[in-house]
Every structure is written in structure tokens, then in C-alpha cells.
Amino acid sequence: MAASSEIAHRELDGTDAEVLVYSYYRDAELRGSNLLYRLLRILKDDASQIALSEHLCDETRHAWLWTERIQELGKAPVPITDGYQVRIGKRCGVPRHPVDLLALTVVVEQRALKRYQEHLKRADTPDRTLEVLRSVSKDEGWHIDWVRQKAREIASAEGSPERYDEAVERYRAIDKEVWEELEGIERSWTEPR
């Protein structure tokens, strides 16, 4: 299978389109893991180290579930060079402040959860894919909650409780732009020509 940027310019059969979507999900989980690893080096308190370790474990497990699902289709993951996380990063860079990193994490986790919930509603989703979607969705809720709580805690301790909300608003605007682009690309894979 060609690289993702090339795939957008040709017709895909059903399995190729399915594998490509799962590869995008996998890529987002792996790149999200990288963001969490960065946070592990910044947030030194015991509670954060424990929560981040579990969160990181979940993200890599999610990437494995998507890899496994792709293999069940007799394929291999497609290298994604222009996925959601890459596009977000190109627009905002990598935040350095813990509150900003946490706010970005909340926004990307919310996008993942929304994406998975939308996919769960599709009538044509195979049963095995529904299992994977339910499994990964189950974890996203607690990920969002603990990260949001930690970001607010840090912002308040620094005397700027509004910093978190401002950062989330900024990242949501970027997320909206990126998602509109990716949604259009994905539609081009699955709509008849």
C-alpha cells in the first residue's frame, strides 16, 4: 500500500479504506504516547507519574489493538506521515509549559473519543471493529478527566487558573481546522467517484 499522502489521490477498495482509517487511528495513539512520554519527564509528583504510566500503557495498547485489527484483515499498518497529530503539531508546535501540554492532551483525547463514538454509530462497522472501538473508548473518559484535573491544579497553583481554559480554546480552534481537512480526505477514500 502506498504512503497515506499518495492514497488520497486514488480509489481504494473497501479493505484498503478500512486499513487506512485504522492506520490513522493507530498513528494518533502512537503519537499521543509520545506526548505522554514528554509529560512523564516534566510532571514529577507521584500521582502524575502513576496516572501517566497507566495512561501511556493504555495508549500503546490502543495502538496495538489497531495494529492487530489491521493484521486480521491480512494487511500491515500504513505509514502515516500527515495524520492528525502531525497536522496539529505543524500548527501549534510542541508546547513547553505543563498546562499547555495537558490542555493539548485533553483536546486530542476528546477528538479521539468523538471519532471513536462516531465510528461506533456506523451501520456497516464490522463486529470485531466495534469491539476495538468500545475497548479504546472506555479508556478515553478517564484519560480526559485526570488530565483536565491536573492541568487546572497546576494553573491554579501558579496563580493563573484561566491559563488552562485559554489553552484549550486555542487548541480546539486548531483541532477544528485539522479535523475539517482530515474529514474531507477520508470522505474521498470512501465516496463513489
> Which secondary structure element, helix H or strand E, spans residue 130, and what is its range?
helix 127-157
Q: Give the mean pLDDT of 32-40.
A: 93
Is residue 73 in some structural domain?
Answer: yes
CATH number at residue 124: 1.20.1260.10
Is residue 191 in some structural domain?
Answer: no
CB 99, CB 163: distance < 8 Å: yes
Is residue 152 in some structural domain?
Answer: yes
Q: How many CB atoms lie within 10 A of CB 53?
A: 12
Using CA atoms, how far residue 148 sits from 110, 151, 191, 193, in Å, is: 11, 5, 37, 43
At 64-99, the pLDDT tens digits run 999 999 999 999 999 999 999 999 999 998 899 999
Q: Give the mean pLDDT of 25-39.
A: 94
Is residue 141 in some structural domain?
Answer: yes
Is residue 144 in some structural domain?
Answer: yes
**pLDDT at position 186:** 75
Is residue 180 in some structural domain?
Answer: yes
Is residue 167 in some structural domain?
Answer: yes
Confidence bin at 183 (pLDDT 50/70/90): confident
The conformational region for residue 159 under phi > 0 = left, psi -120 to 50 = alpha, else beta, is: left
Question: How many independent structural domains does the chain possess?
Answer: 1
Query: Which of 58-62, 125-129, 132-136, 186-190 is least confident?
Result: 186-190
Q: Which domain holds residue 65?
A: 11-186
**pLDDT at position 94:** 84
Is residue 70 in some structural domain?
Answer: yes
